[in-house]
Amino acid sequence: MLDVTLWKRAEDALRVSEERFAFVRKTSGVGFWYCDLPFDVLEWDEQVKAHFHLPPDAVVSIDTFYDRLHPDDREPTRRAIERSIAEKAPYDVDYRTVDTATGAEKWVRAVGRTSYAADGTPIRFDGVTFDITERKRAADELREQDRRKDEFLATLAHELRNPLAPVRTGLQILKMTPPGRSAEKAHDMMDRQLGHMVRLIDDLLDVSRISRGKVDLRRERVDLRTVVENAVETSHPVVEAGRHDLAVNLPDEPVWLDADLTRLAQVVSNVITNAAKYTPEGGRIHLAARRDGDEAVVTVTDTGVGIPAKMLAGVFEMFSQVNKTLDRAQGGLGIGLALVRRLAEMHGGSITAESAGTGRGSTFTVRLPIAVAQELHPPPGRNGAAHATPASFRVLVVDDNKDGAESLAMLLKLSGHDARVAHDG
C-alpha cells in the first residue's frame, strides 16, 4: 500500500492550473509560440496560426513565418529577433501578416524572449502574439482627424485674419479723409468685413456648443412661413451680392412647428446662403416650403456649381469642402452644413442633398415634423401690442472689456440715451 494523498493533491492542482491556462488562452485571444534554436521545430497554437491566416492543423516552419509577413516588415522583424538572441534584449515588435491566398492583412504584436543554456548558448525563443488590427485602425483614424483639425486651424486662422486687413485699412482711410463719399464707402466695407467675421465666429461657437451638448432649443409654436421669411431676410445680402433671382413659394395655410425660430431660420438661411455662394453670378434660386403629411418640407434648388455624386453625403461632415481652391472670401470653414444637420436633427428632422453633378445645380431638402394637433390649438398670440418706445432710456453698461463697454455707451449716448459704464459687478 502507498499513501498517494500528496500525489492526488498535486494532480488536482495541476488540473486546476491547466484549466486556468486554457481559459486565459481562450478568452484573451493571445497566441503562444515556442521555438527551439536555431529554429528547427516551431510550435504554434491555434491562435498564432489564426494570426497568420492559417488553419488549426497547418504545419509551420520558420519559412512559413517569413512568407506570411508583409514584405516591408520582414527585415525589421528579422533584425529584432537577431538582436534579442544576441543581446539578451526583450523581443517586442509589431508586424503585418498577410493571407497569401486573399491578400487580407492583420496587424500583430509579438512579445518574447530567448532562453540560454548554462554555458550561454541560446536554446529557446518563445513568446506570444496579439491581434492589434483594431488598435492600429483607431490610431490611424485619430491621426487623420488630427490632420483635419490642423488643416482646419490653419484655415480658421487665415479666415479670421482676412477681414482684419481691410478693416485696418478702412480705419486709416477714415483718419485721412473728411466725412463724405470715401468715408462712407470705407464704413460700408468695414461693416461687411466685420459682419463676415462675426458670422464665422458665431458658427464656431455654435459648433463647440452643439458638440458639447450645450445648445438648448427654445421651442415655441411657430409658423413655417415665419421661419422661411426670417431666413430669406437674413440671407438677402448674399443673394443680392450674387445678383441672383430668388423665388419663394410659401403654403397658403400656416404650418405649425414646435421649434426654435432662431435656430430653424439659421438652418434655412444657411442653405439659401450656400445656394447663393455656390452659384455663379445671376443664377436662379428656388425655395419651396410646403406641408407633406406629417412633415414640413423646405427645398432650396439652385442653378449653381453642383456637387459630384461621391461628395454628396460628405458635405454634411465637419470641415468638409468640395472645392478647397474656391476663393476663400466665398467659401467658409466647412462647418455650416454640419451645423445645419445637427440643428435639424435636434428638431427631429433631417436634411439631404441632391445634385445631378458638377455644374448642374443642387437641391437641399429640409424635413421637419409638424406640431401635433395642428388645428386644435392656435398658438398663443405674442403678448400684447408693442410698447411705445420711450424717447430715452437710462442704461447701465457693465463689461470688463473696457473698449467694449465704452464704445457701446458712446453709441447709446449718440442715440439719445443716458448711459453709464461699469467694468465690474
Contacting positions for ligand ADP (CB under 6 A): 274-275, 278, 302, 304-307, 315, 320-323, 331-338, 362
Q: Which is nearer to ligand ADP, 30 or 339 (CB)?
A: 339
Q: Name the minimum Å distance from CB 298 to ligand ADP.
A: 14
Helix (H, G, I), strand (E, B) or coil at 306: coil
Distance CA 408, CA 414 (A): 10
Residue 129 or 235 with smaller CB distance to ligand ADP: 235
The distance of closest approach from Cβ of residue 278 to ligand ADP in the complex, given in angstroms and rounded to an integer, is 3
CB of 239 or CB of 275, closer to ligand ADP: 275
CB of 271 to ligand ADP, least distance (A): 7
User: What is the separation, in whole angstroms, between the first and last Cα of the chain?
Assistant: 97
The least distance separating ligand ADP from the CB of residue 315, rounded to whole angstroms, comes to: 4
Return the residue nearest ligand ADP (CB atom): 332
Using the minimum distance from each CB to ligand ADP, give the nearer residue, 147 or 328: 328
Contact (Cβ atoms closer than 8 angstroms) between residue 395 and residue 418: yes
Whether 366 and 267 have beta carbons less than 8 Å apart is answered as: yes
Nearer to ligand ADP, 163 or 170 (CB): 163
Q: How far is the CB of 341 from ligand ADP (least distance, A)?
A: 9
CA 141, distance to chain mean position in Å, is: 12
Quick one: cell of 365?
A: 431638402
Q: How many helical (H) and strand (E) elements, i.e. helices and strands, does the chain have?
A: 11, 14
Q: Is the dihedral of CA 355, 358, 360, 362 positive or negative?
A: positive
Rounded (to 5) percent helix, strand, coil in the chain:
45, 20, 35
Q: How far is the CB of 302 from ligand ADP (least distance, A)?
A: 5
Long-range contacts of 327-334 (CB under 8 A, 24+ apart): 328/158, 328/159, 328/162, 329/162, 330/277, 330/278, 331/277, 332/159, 332/200, 332/203, 333/152, 333/155, 333/156, 333/159, 333/200, 333/203, 333/204, 334/152, 334/155
Identify which of residues 47 and 269 has a Cβ nearer to ligand ADP in the complex: 269
**Pairing assessment for the beta strands 418-422 and 394-398 based on DSSP bridges:** parallel
Considering the complex, what minimum distance in angstroms separates the CB of residue 169 from ligand ADP? 25
Q: How far is the CB of 286 from ligand ADP (least distance, A)?
A: 12
| Minimum CB distance to ligand ADP smaller for 129 or for 269 | 269
Q: Considering beta carbons, is residue 129 or 270 the nearer one to ligand ADP?
A: 270
